[in-house]
Amino acid sequence: DTGVSQDPRHKITKRGQNVTFRCDPISEHNRLYWYRQTLGQGPEFLTYFQNEAQLEKSRLLSDRFSAERPKGSFSTLEIQRTEQGDSAMYLCASSAGLASYYEQYFGPGTRLTVT
């Protein structure tokens, strides 16, 4: 068990380009979460999967944001037509079981810089 991994660790892109981030959760963790963290703030919830089902996506920041978890394992977060305001750290977390009191384990994050 190597923990939650995210790829890439850093991404620099030009405004208007599309970017995709990948998250590999701890194996057999049912729940997968995406958060965004900006400088000086705590992580902000974006979306959540239970197995392959995306059960909450209303917190995605705009319709430019989308996420998938096609086989209930890894997940991707895509941002289309990036804007400078999208520059942030994007964090993925996973947790075991279906009970929401299980702690979440976080990956190292993907730092996005939009120029």
Partner 1 sequence: AQSVAQPEDQVNVAEGNPLTVKCTYSVSGNPYLFWYVQYPNRGLQFLLKYITGDNLVKGSYGFEAEFNKSQTSFHLKKPSALVSDSALYFCAVRDNGGSQGNLIFGKGTKLSVKP
Q: Which is nearer to partner 1, 76 or 102 (CB)?
A: 102
- Looking at this protein, which amino acid is placed at residue 58? S
Read off the amino acid at residue 72.
G
- Please state whether 59 falls in left (phi above 0), alpha (psi between -120 and 50) or beta: alpha
- Minimum Å gap between C-beta 107 and partner 1 is 5
Closest distance of CB 108 from partner 1, Å:
4
CB of 84 to partner 1, least distance (A): 22
Q: Which residues bind partner 1 (CB under 8 A)?
A: 4, 31, 33, 35, 40-45, 48, 55-56, 59, 91, 93, 95, 99-109
Tokens encoding 87: 């520059």
Nearer to partner 1, 27 or 100 (CB): 100
- In angstroms, what is the minimal distance from the CB of 15 to partner 1? 26
